[in-house]
Each structure stands twice: as structure tokens, then as C-alpha cells.
């Protein structure tokens, strides 16, 4: 008798889209950064399509700056919206506010100002996720395969995959993480770095190396660099 193994459940996805995009300068005076065209479509759609490909039950985006533009674009795509008002809550505060939409299980979070070239980073993370050992798993890229990056790396990875600050691994903006620790943080506006620091102190902060290439599109020069990467035939 054959045994049918049910597919691994896919975490829900949080897209970070609330920021002001100040590094984009004049480009974001009337347009939220996630809606800036890159390669013929809004920047956020590149990440949204990768998220949709893993078929989560829910995709949520947080909104603050010029929210009507993003709402008009995302609502028809079945993306649930978490409005942050009167202040933007940063990544940690924004994720905590969106938890009623996302649920209590581990979730994906994703930055929407990057371009990935190669395998789907959500699938890369899902394949490596081990909740028995990990409280967060970050998809990271060596600086040698990053484009448009200003500055060095973020993390160093040991032989077991645990990460610590400093090194030549760049956090690419996609991760799976458990969210229980968010409830113990007193601040209303805070970065997910606070949660990462706590996880790292318990040896439960991990990384998986992305096998492809990646581009930061957080500044105006990154648009052309990203479009070159999209058109490039590298694997």
C-alpha cells in the first residue's frame, strides 16, 4: 500500500510596502517606491509574482505612504492590506500589526525593492526551513553576487547555518520567521532587527545561501542595474 504524503504547508506572506522611499529622491514624490516601473512592471510585482508562485493562502501588504496608489494596484490581485496610520511602524511594528491577517504560524516576510535572478527565493527558504532548530531563516547572498549594493555584507554563517553580525552575506529581503517574540517587544515602532538579536542570542537565527544573483533597487541607479540583471542571461 502506498502512502500519500501531504504537501508541506506554505507560510503566509507579508510584503513590506509602507516606506517613504526617500533614497529614490524625486522618483517617490508622487509615486510610492513599490510602484516605480522596473523591467516593464511595478517593482512590487516582481516580488509578488514570486510569492504567488508558492501558493500561500494569504498575501498581505502594509501601506502608509501614498496608500491609495498601492491599494488600487494590489486589491484586485487578492492581496490583503494592512494600513499603518498615523505613523509608519517599521518592519517589526508593521508585521505585528498585520498578524491578525497573517495568523499565528510562521510567516514569510519580503522586501519589495529588490530583484532576484535565479531560483524562487521563497522556495529556497521553504526547502531549507527547519522549525525544530530555527526561529528565523533568512535568504542571504554573498556580496560577490549582489548588484546595486552600497556597503558591505550583513552576516557571517557558521557550518551549521547559524548567523552572526558582520561578514560578506547580504540579507536579500526574504525570510521565514516565527512571530511569537513580537509580542514581548514594548515599542510600537521597531525594526525586526530587535527580534533577530533575540533569536541570535539563543542560536536560532539561520541563513540559507541564495544560489542566484540579486539587486538592490532602493536608489535611482538601481533601476538600470536591475533591468540589466533581468535581461542578463546568467544563471
The pLDDT, as a whole number, for residue 111 is: 98
User: Domain ranges in the chain?
Assistant: 13-231
CA 107/CA 103 separation, integer angstroms: 8
State pTM to two decimals.
0.94
The pLDDT, as a whole number, for residue 235 is: 62
- Radius of gyration of the chain from its Cα atoms, rounded to whole angstroms: 17
Q: In CATH terms, is domain 13-231 a member of 3.40.50.620? A: no
Whether 3 shows a pLDDT value over 70: the answer reads no
Q: Quick: pLDDT tens for 165-189.
A: 999 999 999 999 999 999 999 999 9
Q: Quick: pLDDT tens for 17-75.
A: 999 999 999 999 999 999 999 999 999 999 999 999 999 999 999 999 999 999 999 99
| Cβ-contact 16, 110 below 8 angstroms | yes
| Count of CA atoms in the C-beta half-sphere (13 A) of 40 | 3
| Cβ-contact 94, 65 below 8 angstroms | no
Phi, psi of 113 (to 5 degrees): -120, 35
The pLDDT, as a whole number, for residue 150 is: 86
Dihedral (CA of 67, 146, 174, 178) sign = negative
Per-residue pLDDT band at 13 (split at 50, 70, 90): very high
Amino acid at each position: 500500500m502506498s502512502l500519500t504524503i501531504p504537501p508541506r504547508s506554505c507560510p503566509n506572506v507579508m510584503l513590506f510596502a509602507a516606506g517613504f522611499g526617500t533614497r529614490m529622491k524625486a522618483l517617490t514624490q508622487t509615486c510610492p517606491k513599490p510602484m516605480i516601473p522596473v523591467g516593464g512592471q511595478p517593482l512590487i510585482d516582481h516580488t509578488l509574482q514570486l510569492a504567488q508562485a508558492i501558493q500561500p493562502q494569504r498575501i498581505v501588504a502594509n501601506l502608509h505612504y501614498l496608500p491609495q496608489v498601492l491599494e488600487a494596484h494590489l486589491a484586485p490581485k487578492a492581496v490583503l492590506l494592512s494600513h499603518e496610520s498615523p505613523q509608519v511602524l517599521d518592519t517589526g511594528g508593521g508585521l505585528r500589526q498585520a498578524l491578525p491577517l497573517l495568523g499565528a504560524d510562521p510567516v514569510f516576510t519580503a522586501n519589495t525593492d529588490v530583484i532576484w535572478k535565479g531560483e524562487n527565493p521563497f522556495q529556497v527558504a521553504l526547502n531549507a526551513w527547519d522549525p525544530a532548530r530555527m526561529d528565523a531563516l533568512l535568504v542571504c547572498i554573498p556580496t560577490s553576487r549582489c548588484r546595486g549594493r552600497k556597503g558591505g555584507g550583513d552576516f557571517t554563517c557558521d557550518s551549521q547555518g547559524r548567523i552572526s553580525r558582520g561578514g560578506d552575506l547580504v540579507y536579500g529581503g526574504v525570510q521565514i520567521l516565527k512571530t511569537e517574540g513580537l509580542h514581548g517587544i514594548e515599542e510600537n515602532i521597531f525594526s525586526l532587527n530587535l527580534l533577530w538579536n533575540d533569536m541570535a542570542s539563543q542560536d536560532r537565527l539561520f541563513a540559507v545561501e541564495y544560489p542566484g544573483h540579486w539587486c538592490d533597487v532602493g536608489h535611482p541607479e538601481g533601476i538600470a542595474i536591475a533591468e540589466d540583471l533581468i535581461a542578463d542571461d546568467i544563471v
